[in-house]
Structure 1
Amino acid sequence: MNKIEHKEFEGERPLFYQNDLELSNIKVLNGESAIKECTNVICTDSSFNGKYPFWHANHAKIEKCTFETGGRAAIWYSQDLSMKDSLVIAPKMFRRCKGLDLENVEFTDALETLWDCTNIKVKNIKAVHADYIFMNSSNIEVENFELHGNYSFQNCTNVKIKNSNLETKDAFWEAKNVTVENCSISGEFLGWHSENLTLINCSIKGTQPLCYAKNLKLINCTFDPDCDLAFEYSSIQAEIKGHVTSIKNPLTGSIKVDSVGEIIRDANAKAPNDCVIEVVNG
């Protein structure tokens, strides 16, 4: 390994197209593409304030690093990359990457982060200002994720989320093959137009949840009082604990709920319009 310590870099492509790098306590200042097209990189205790430092960088390990505001769009088109114990202040991290392992990372501006990526593992992560996070990504495993940002997980496929707190409007739109377990989900219009969305032991908040969904499953979930007009035009199998404010025009399937304030079947109901609603205490 070529070991580089306590150095500062600026300008364009100062470490371009190098292999087997061990970087420690370096600073990337103004400039672009500092570590572009590099392979087998270990980077620790370093900071990045120049744009695009890890584009097309493969087999990289990043630990105890900070990506400053100027280090926006830092990691794109890369494969087999891990990041641990790091702070990301810059937006638009991770695009079109394959094989990401993120642990103990805080994103303070996660706008448009993790787009068009595949084979992602995320553990012990906090992301704020995270609008459109995970757009068009696939094969995602998430655990202990604190999310604050809207329009998350749109158009995603093959997603597993556990033990997380998701504060996010319009989550899981047009997502396919998603399982969410032991999570709190807060936000309007949850899961619209999704397919094969399964929620297990989840608490749900926000108006008009889970409409236009195909093969929707809920197991032992609870609904906040603001969860009104739920399940419109959805095919569903659900077991819901506690009270639901209102259910509107579910398409087909079955719903078992402890109690419900209102069941709406109006002139706008669509065929087959045969969803069975069982109110246990009603």
Structure 2
Amino acid sequence: MNIIEHNQNGLVYLAADGFEAAGGVAHGFSTRLGGVSDGIYTSLNLGMNRGDDPDKVKENYRRFCAAIGADLKGVVCASQVHGDTVRPVTTADLGIGLDEGEPWQADGLVTDIPGVVLTVFTADCLPILLYDPVRRVVGAVHAGWRGTALGIVTRAVERMVDCYGCDRLDILAAIGPGISKCCFETHEDVPNAMTESMGASALHCIQVLPTGKFHVDLKALNAKRLEGAGLAPEHIAVSADCTSCLPEKYWSHRYTHGQRGSQAAMIALL
């Protein structure tokens, strides 16, 4: 399974070909290309609380949802706190859209309700989308290094199995664009957190630098988490794009020192 790039009238986004082949789902990972924002937010900023003009952000949402085939009125998101809480979205949550504050904290969302557009926001952290085309269940995960160490993507798979009866071998996963090993330079706290959580299996995803710092491969660590959760390796797609390497294409918190917009990753059952 692969991550492929689409250009819809100048709006560039990424999608998993395996999701598209399975059908029945709308999904996409945004870039910063194809929106109407300007200044430091040029152009497709989907961050609602970054200081951008709200009307321009709403237009960006309209364009992105139209490009991927999702219903803007169905958008549901959460307050992301770099934890491992995964929340099932129910009919009681419908109507939580862009004009309301997120009523709960979670870094993962799962649902089996058609039309609900699960949404997570990133600007170096990893967006991970999950889809079971058999049981018709979707998930969206925000995984920074803390969430990776906590195993949030594993929690999301477990929620899909426990709440909706998914078979792990039916679940497809797409790890979207985020900071890659080449640019994610850290102190020892990050690799320590990974080895404490995942043991020696994390070591091949960590490189010691001559400076005494480390390069950490969050994409490989989350792919390993997904395989450990029971997913078939061929059902896991990983974007090669590094948000920090490609600042003209993606928002990167590290590259811009926080002066930025946000990407969004969305998924919805049709």
**TM-score of the aligned structures, taking structure 2 as reference length:** 0.23
Question: Which structure would you say has the larger Rg?
Answer: 1
Which structure carries more strand by proportion? 1
Q: Which structure has more RCO (C-alpha within 8 Å, separation ≥ 6)? A: 2
TM-score by length of structure 1 reads: 0.22
Comparing both structures, which one devotes a greater share of its residues to helix? 2
